[in-house]
A and B are shown apart, each in its own frame.
Chain A
Amino acid sequence: MNKSIRIIALIACAAILCAALCSCQMLDEAKKTTAYFTDDTMKELTFHGNTYKLVDSPKGVSFLMNDTIYGYHAAAPDVPVLLAGSYGKSLVFQREEKDDPRIVAVISEIVDYYGSGDFSVGSYYSDKMTYYLKESEYESLQKLITDADCDYYFMYTYKYDDDYKAQNILLDDASVTAVKHAMTDGKKVKWSELSSRSEWYGIELFSCDKDKLITDNRNLRIITNSEEFYVYDESASDPKAPLHQALKEDYDAMKKVYNQCEYSIECEDIEGRVTLEEYAER
């Protein structure tokens, strides 16, 4: 009897020890998706064993953070990993850098983009984000953002399949020239003149550097129909200029229609290649 009790006790102890030493997938996942600030100043954070340092970016200049991965959090050092989602802030980084992100951004304020009815998808979070750079890349990236040279443009394009997908198409030199021409002359440009194109919906152009890493958040609205488009730089145009007024009227009309159909699936049409007149007639 004593012997069998001892054997049972031994097996139980072995099982308990085994269970105690075993990892837990849910906990491992929570650890993997949590970054910790090293202290309350929030100037540094550790993520996946790497240290990330807060970037000192000039006003208005930010890193490009489109097509980011969500579900990650950055929390204060005293927050338990299981509560990082509730007591931490959202941490995002580029999908293409998933395995080893160079730049991570902490979203300091969550904004309901779809509730705001604003057009500017790409830059919407830019002033709500704080950027942290991987320690090993800090100096080069910090230099890049300090000497921001945003003379290029990319088109923010997106589409809905089962999911929202975004893609930034960097315009080649010929396309940039076409866009600049359109802006200067206030003329419509045929889509066919734009060599950098996508089949996805594109309604905005953003300034960027040649590596598509940073932007100074100058964005050009694209006003389009099925064949041609013209662009409108809200920040650079003289609001009194007749051309600007004409463009703005078109833009406002488009926005009005957009707002009318904001919650309709047909929104996709106006963001695509349907003429404003066609849409208004529907």
Chain B
Amino acid sequence: MVKKLIKYDFASYMRLLIPIQLAVLGIAAINRVVQIFENYDNEIYGIIFGSSVALYVISMIVALVLTVIIAIVRFYQGMYSNEGYLSHTLPVTPTQHIFSKLIVSMLFMLGTLLTIFVSLCIVTLGEMNIELFKSAGFLLAKGFERLRWNLPFYIAELLALMIISFFGGMLMMYFCISVGQLAKKHKILAAVGVYFGIYVLSQIIGTVFAVYISLNPELFETLGEWIEANTEAFFHIVFCIGIVLDVIMTGVYFFFTRLLMTRKLNLT
């Protein structure tokens, strides 16, 4: 059943996102074609090229933002709108619902990132493309030369952090929607309110932490000295703390979202 759920969600995402991703690729192709007539001394060329770059950047941002928005909307529609009546009668647990939505949103986010990567290849098609890859390889080699085996670990930690952050971010949205649906009216507005509440709370915690550090100059200095002496270890620690915090927050959001879906379902 979970497979069917994923398949259904997949089809729904495809209908919405494939045209956008094709548009990104198309705009990238237009940008590359414009570059064939490259002449920076010509003002008209400058305007056309500038516009095509702006359009391309906007299309990339739109594709990324829409992927997230569609993931949120799909969750809301599937769980708490009319479609929710059907979803919750299926022989699928809330955990499976959440995971199916998360997996599909993750896959489409990867799809969008891949589209952006391909579009960048289109924009720089030709010798520039080769030079960019050469530069990336050179920088990686230089990075490895300097950081030795820390580099692959940094990359692995960063990737893990990004994936967990994505799941955490999505689950936070799911949590906000799940809290928002408890309201009798204006459920979406309530969800937005919850989101801002969480945002403000996290900012307050961050500020309190920063103030605490700055009010303790000795701690600040000791920390600074330690970072200077152990820069490589410091980044490992930062990434690992980030991963642990994100895992905890992801777990908390998952737990409460599941709880609300199990015990406090309030369909319209």
CA distance A25 to B35 in the complex (A): 9
When the two chains form their complex, are residues B36 and A18 in contact, meaning their CB atoms are under 8 A apart?
yes
List, in ascending order, chain B residues with CB within 8 A of A87's CB.
138, 142
Q: Is the interface of B mostly helix, strand, loop or mixed?
A: helix
CB contact under 8 A between A24 and B35, given known A80-B138, A83-B138: yes
When the two chains form their complex, are residues A80 and B135 in contact, meaning their CB atoms are under 8 A apart?
yes
When the two chains form their complex, are residues A27 and B138 in contact, meaning their CB atoms are under 8 A apart?
no
Most buried by B among A20, A24, A27, A82: A24
B-contact 0/1 string along A33-52, CB 8 Å cutoff: 00000000000000000000
A21 at the interface (CB under 8 A from B): yes
List, in ascending order, chain B residues with CB within 8 A of A280's CB.
none
When the two chains form their complex, are residues A82 and B131 in contact, meaning their CB atoms are under 8 A apart?
yes
CB contact under 8 A between A19 and B125, given known A24-B35, A25-B38, A25-B40: yes
B139 at the interface (CB under 8 A from A): yes
CA distance A130 to B29 in the complex (A): 45
Minimum CB distance partner of B36 in chain A:
A22
A118 at the interface (CB under 8 A from B): no
CB distance from A90 to the nearest CB of B (A): 19
CA distance A82 to B137 in the complex (A): 12
CA distance A27 to B131 in the complex (A): 9
B121-154: which residues lie under 8 A (CB-CB) from chain A? 125-128, 131-132, 134-135, 138-139, 142
CB distance from A37 to the nearest CB of B (A): 15
CB distance from A215 to the nearest CB of B (A): 38
CA distance A12 to B28 in the complex (A): 13
Most buried by B among A23, A79, A80, A82: A80
CA distance A222 to B35 in the complex (A): 55
B-contact 0/1 string along A185-202, CB 8 Å cutoff: 000000000000000000
| Interface bracket on B | 10 to 19
List, in ascending order, chain B residues with CB within 8 A of A25's CB.
38-40
List, in ascending order, chain A residues with CB within 8 A of B33's CB.
15, 19
| Interface bracket on A | 20 to 34
Most buried by A among B33, B38, B131, B132: B131
A74-96: which residues lie under 8 A (CB-CB) from chain B? 78-83, 87
CB distance from B40 to the nearest CB of A (A): 6
A16 at the interface (CB under 8 A from B): yes
B258 at the interface (CB under 8 A from A): no
- Partner among B39, B128, B138 whose Cβ is within 8 Å of the Cβ of A24: B128
When the two chains form their complex, are residues B138 and A79 in contact, meaning their CB atoms are under 8 A apart?
yes
List, in ascending order, chain B residues with CB within 8 A of A83's CB.
135, 138-139
List, in ascending order, chain B residues with CB within 8 A of A27's CB.
127-128, 131
CB contact under 8 A between A82 and B38, given known A15-B29, A22-B126: no
- Partner among A19, A78, A80 whose Cβ is within 8 Å of the Cβ of B131: A80
Most buried by B among A19, A23, A82: A19
Given A22-B38, A27-B127, A82-B131, 18 more contacts at CB 8 Å?
A16-B125, A18-B36, A19-B32, A19-B33, A19-B35, A19-B126, A21-B126, A22-B36, A22-B126, A23-B126, A24-B127, A25-B40, A27-B128, A78-B138, A79-B138, A80-B135, A80-B138, A82-B132
15 CB < 8 A contacts A-B: A15-B33, A18-B36, A19-B32, A19-B125, A21-B126, A22-B35, A23-B127, A24-B126, A25-B39, A80-B135, A81-B131, A82-B131, A82-B132, A83-B138, A87-B142
Q: Which of B's residues lie within 8 Å of A, judged by CB?
A: 29, 32-33, 35-36, 38-40, 125-128, 131-132, 134-135, 138-139, 142
Pairs A-B, 4 closest by C-beta atoms: A80-B134, A80-B135, A20-B126, A19-B32
